[in-house]
Copies of this chain bind each other. A is one copy, B any other.
Amino acid sequence: MPSVTGTSSPPRRRLGPEERRAQLVQLGLDLIKARPFDQVLVDEVIEAAGISKGLLFHYFPTKRAFQVAVIEAAAAELLEAVRPDPALDVLEQLRHGLDAYVAYIEQQPASYTAIVRGAGSDTALLQVFEDTRDAIVDLVLAGITAEPSPLLRLAVRGWIAGVEESTILWLRDRECSRDAVIVLFYREALALLPLIEEMEGDD
């Protein structure tokens, strides 16, 4: 089953199943930093891994299954990057989290945009997208209150979607400084809290 690898490929090593699976996902993660995730070819992955197409499909029965595994790994990477440092105060956590979020999109704008705009074309991809967005909303809410109201959750989720959209647009046009966009997001978040408190006090 193993193919003859090209001279430019790394020498083929014998890996255990877990190790092999992790290697393939890592290769996918590296490739989507260079190109929209839906344009990453199976042939590139197997060439870089020095394995046959049959072996790739042994681990991932379809190209879509491989894509979903890579996007799940990317989502885990993003959540790890934005995880707040408990040594910082809440406002510093927010600032650091925003910086890390923007930095993550900056690393791979083409893939990030393709995922955000195209997630709905597949149920499994959409689920990863929704779960990741929920997890980020939870991280933000955890810094604010133990019992977020439905309106606060809605507002934070909208704010995150806005941060994402503005970052994608900023990376496309680069008409503002990086600092300005991060300060914008930070101040938007700070403005949101008293606004919700005032609304809920209105009842």
Chain A interface residues toward B at CB < 8 A = 113-114, 116-121, 126, 129, 150-151, 154-155, 157-166, 169-170, 173, 175-176, 180-181, 183-184, 187-188, 191-192, 195-196, 199
Contacts and interface: CB of A to CB of B under 8 A. Distances in A.
A137 to B, nearest CB: 10
Nearest to A118: B120
3 smallest CB-CB distances across A and B, nearest first, come from: A117-B120, A158-B162, A118-B120
Contacts of A116: 120
A194 to B, nearest CB: 9
Contact of A191 (B114, B118, B195): B195
Given A118-B120, A120-B113, A191-B191, A158 B150 contact: no
A6 to B, nearest CB: 32
A184 B163 contact: no
Contacts of A180: 151, 199
14 contacts: A113-B120, A116-B120, A117-B121, A118-B118, A157-B165, A157-B166, A158-B163, A158-B165, A158-B166, A158-B188, A160-B165, A161-B166, A162-B162, A188-B195
A176 B150 contact: yes
A2 to B, nearest CB: 34
Contacts of A119: 117-118, 120
A158 B159 CA distance: 8
